[in-house]
Chain A
Amino acid sequence: MLFCLVSLVRERRRQRMATDPRLESYVASIIRAELDGEKFFVVAGSAAERELLLEAIYLVVSHTYGIPLSSFRELVRANRLGEFLMRRIAWSRGADRARWLLLSSVIPLREEHIARLKGYLHSGDSIVRSSALLALLSLQPSRALQTIVSLNYHLSPFDVVRIITLLRRGVMPIAYEPLLKSANRNVQMVGLAIVRSFGIDIAEKHLHAIISTTDDAALAREVIYTLSSLGRPLGREKVKTRLCGMTQAERRDLCRYLSVEGYSMAALRTLFTEQEIGLNESLIKSYKRDLICPQANF
C-alpha cells in the first residue's frame, strides 16, 4: 500500500514537472544562448529547480548535435549539479536510478563522479546497466571501446540502439572497420549496428569474413540481417550454410524480413523452400504499396 502511494506521488510529480513552464523557459534559454554564441548560466534555488535544469539540458542535448558538454561546465559547478546527481543516483533504485544516470550523461562531471558511475555498469538491473553504459560512453567517448570490452554481459538490441543514437549526436566516432575486426562480441555488434544504421555498403567483405570465421550463431545471424538491410546478395555458400543451421522459426523470421527489405521472390526461392516463402507473396505485395497515405480523411 505504501509502495503504491509513493509510486503514485512520484508519477504525479513527474507529470507536473513535464508541464512546468520553467522547463520550457530553461530549454528556450539554452537554445538562445547557443544561437547567440553565449554560455547559458542560471542559478537554481531549490532541488526541484536543479532537477528541471537537468531535464532541460538533457532534452536539448539528446535532440540536437553540436553542443559540447564543456559549455555547461560553469553551470554545473555553480549549481553543484554533480554532487546533486550522485546523491540522487545513490538514493534511488530501478527506473528512477536509470533516469538519474541518463541525466548525468549530458553534463560534464568530475573524474571522481565518473568513477562512481562505473560501479553501476555491472548492476543486476538491466535498465540501470544500460543507462550507466550510455552515461559513461557519453562522458568518456575516447574510452568507449574499453568500456564496451569491459562489460561482462552481452549487449541487448536496446543497448545497441541507444549507442547508435550517441553516434548520431556525434559523441563517438563512426569507424566501423576496427569494430568488425574485433574479437569481442559486443564490439562487433556495435560495428554491425553502425554498418546497418549508416548503410555502409563497402563493409560487405568484412561481413562475409565474420560469417566465415565466427562460431557464434547469433552473431552470424545478425550479420545476415545486416547484409539484408544493405540489400546485398545472399547467394554465397557460407550464407546458405548458416541458413541451414537456423531453426524453423528463425528461418521464417528471416524470410519475412527479406520480403520487407524488398528481395524478390526469385531471390527468396534460392534460399528458402516453397513452403517457407508461401506466406510472403501477399506480404511483398502489401509492402510495395505507399506507406504514406496520399489522401487524408478530413
Chain B
Amino acid sequence: MEHKKIIIFSTTPHAVSLVKAAVCHSAADVECCSTCGAMIERCRCMSPDLIIILSVAPFVGGELSIERVRQLCVAPPAIYVIAWHQSESVVMGVLESGADQYMTFPISTLRLHNKAISHLRTNLR
C-alpha cells in the first residue's frame, strides 16, 4: 500500500504538534502548513488523502472553500475540521459547506487516531 498523505493546517504551532502526533502513522506522510496559501499549494502538489484544519476562521473569512480545495486534488480528500467553536450556526455552516467531520476541542486523541487510520485504510488507491 503506498504512503498516504495528510496535511494539517493551523495558524498556531501548538495544536499542530498535538494533532500531528495523534494522526502520525507509519504508512502516512504528514505535512503541516501555517497559511492558507501554503496549504493550497501543498494540495496542488501532494494531492493529500486527508486534510485536517484546526480553525474555522478561514471558512468564516472566505479564504477557504472546501469545494475548491477538493477540485485541486486528484482524488477528493477527506476534510476534518477541529476547533474550539461550538455554536450551532458555525458548526452547521462548516458541515454544510462540505467538511466530513467537525470535532471540538478538547478531543480524544485515540478517537482522532482511529478515525484517521480507518479512513486512510478504507481509501485504497
Contact = CB atoms under 8 A, between A and B. Distances in A.
Interface residues of A, number: 31
A153 B69 CA distance: 50
A168 B97 CA distance: 26
Interface string B13-25: 1110110111010
Interface stretch (A24-32, A68-76, A129-137, A173-181): A24-32
A246 to B, nearest CB: 25
Contacts of B108: 64-66
A41 B13 CA distance: 23
A138 B18 CA distance: 21
Interface size class of B (residues with CB under 8 A): 35 or more
B100 to A, nearest CB: 15
A19 B13 contact: yes
Given A18-B13, A63-B107, A168-B106, A297 B18 contact: no
Nearest to B22: A31
Contacts, number: 90
Interface string B110-123: 10010000000000
A60 B64 contact: no
Interface string B41-52: 000000000000
A294 B97 contact: yes
B89 A297 contact: no
Interface string A27-60: 1101110110000000000000000000000011
B97 A60 contact: no
B74 to A, nearest CB: 19
A293 B57 CA distance: 11
A62 interface: yes
A296 B64 contact: yes
A291 B106 CA distance: 23
B101 interface: no
5 contacts: A59-B15, A64-B106, A291-B89, A292-B56, A295-B65
